[in-house]
Structure 1
Amino acid sequence: MVSQFGFAVDPRHDQGKADSVEYNIAKGLAPVVQSQNISVLDHFDGEFRILGSKEYHHDEQAKFSPIDYAVTRGLFTEPEIARQISINQYDRFLNWKMAHPPIDPRLATQLVSNMHIIPANPKIAQEIKKVKRGDLVRIQGEMVQVNDRDLVWTSALDWNGVGDGACKLIRVDSIQWLERENI
């Protein structure tokens, strides 16, 4: 089984420096650029097994989300299942595969997700970069929509989607490590 989740990124938008005020949100600071706005869509709270993470510094979305997580939830957080999942993260997309999913492949797509992570404060901005493959974490925060000039980036609100637009866009208020496992 192979599945892909992501957000299309135009490489021509590789502009700006990560130390500019345009990147305040990615650092967990309040926005100071008037065109930037974050709207809360819903509360978010869940336990996830980390399959991988990828940092971004130069795409248009890096001004908000400096890192993406590839995660599993539910049954797929079991280490013996999670270790069977291989991933590839690139350009805000996640490709994953599993030779023999233990459940119907259509249901399996709802248990693996790509999350674009926005830190809610500077402490979280540091914490979100400490995750490792195999960590079981509890993430709390909000699903959001980001607006910036011509960019409208909206979180998926359910787990049923696949492909472009199916990812969660999460402003993280809290991340707790529940277990560290080598998978």
Structure 2
Amino acid sequence: MKAQTSLFAISHIFEEVKAMKKRLWMSLCMVAALGQAHASASGVEYNIAKGLSPQVKDQSISVLQPFYGNFRILGSKVYQDDEQAKFSPIDYAVSWGLFAHPEIARNISVSQYDRYLNWKMDKLPVPADQAMQMVSNMHIIPANPEIAKQIKQVKRGDLVQLKGELVEVRDKDLVWKSSLSPTDIGDGACELFRVNSIQWIEKQKI
């Protein structure tokens, strides 16, 4: 009986080991599948955000008009998980004109979230309607892989010269179109800006 019991125990252990191996194999397969799904999501669908040509059937990018200027960086925010991240990997909160001067820009506090920008100053140097026209949230699209690296190197206080185009992006039911007026405000007032060139004019801590 003891021998039979031992044999039964060994057989039972062997079956348990086989079951554990099977469960481990299935778990590894699931991890691999999830990894492949993630790789797919961050693959050709994200070509535009990487500065590459669109390869997905329903994706397109159209130039609306040339755009350039010198802008003070008030803040930046990287996006990876929203629908627009397939096209624009980063937003810039910027000021220009009078509000690009360091002594004014340092008094502007910003908060960026969900592709929106909130900003405030304790004391405006100009009427509010004029002030609103000198601060903007720009959705940045890199024109090539090198620009894709450079656009993430900006810091608050940098004065940069940006050149490129305002664009419209389409993807299935999504139509994302840039504002074409530097003086509009509210929803739809942001620039969707494909950047061909970025140059640092000065770097200041503000």
Check whether TM > 0.5.
yes
Instruction: Say if 2:102 is the partner of 1:102.
Output: no
Instruction: Say if 2:46 is the partner of 1:27.
Output: no
Summarize the alignment of residues 94-173 of structure 1 with structure 2, pairs less than 5 Å apart: 94-173=117-196
Higher relative contact order (CA 8 A, sep 6+): 1
Distance in 2 (CA, whole Å) between partners of 1:78 and 1:69 is 17
Give SS of 1:45's match: strand
TM-score (norm 1): 0.90
| Deviation of 1:160 (Å) | 2.2
AA of the residue aligned to 1:158: S
Aligned residue number for residue 39 of structure 1: 62
Distance in 1 (CA, whole Å) between partners of 2:123 and 2:194 is 33
Give SS of 1:141's match: strand
Instruction: Say if 2:202 is the partner of 1:179.
Output: yes
Give SS of 1:164's match: coil
AA of the residue aligned to 1:37: S
Q: Which has the larger share of helix?
A: 2
AA of the residue aligned to 1:30: S
The runs of at least 4 aligned residues of structure 1 exceeding 2 Å deviation read: 15-19
Distance in 2 (CA, whole Å) between partners of 1:31 and 1:87 is 32
| Deviation of 1:164 (Å) | 1.2
AA of the residue aligned to 2:143: A
Aligned residue number for residue 73 of structure 1: 96
Give SS of 2:93's match: strand
TM-score (norm 2): 0.80
5+ unaligned residues in a row in structure 1: which ranges? 1-14
Counterpart contact for 1:85–1:97, Cα < 8 Å: yes
Count of residues in Structure 1 that have an aligned counterpart in Structure 2: 169
Distance in 1 (CA, whole Å) between partners of 2:56 and 2:120 is 40
Instruction: Say if 2:80 is the partner of 1:52.
Output: no
5+ unaligned residues in a row in structure 2: which ranges? 1-36
Counterpart contact for 1:116–1:169, Cα < 8 Å: yes
Q: Which has the larger share of strand?
A: 1
What root-mean-square deviation, in Å, do the aligned CA atoms of Structure 1 and Structure 2 show? 1.2
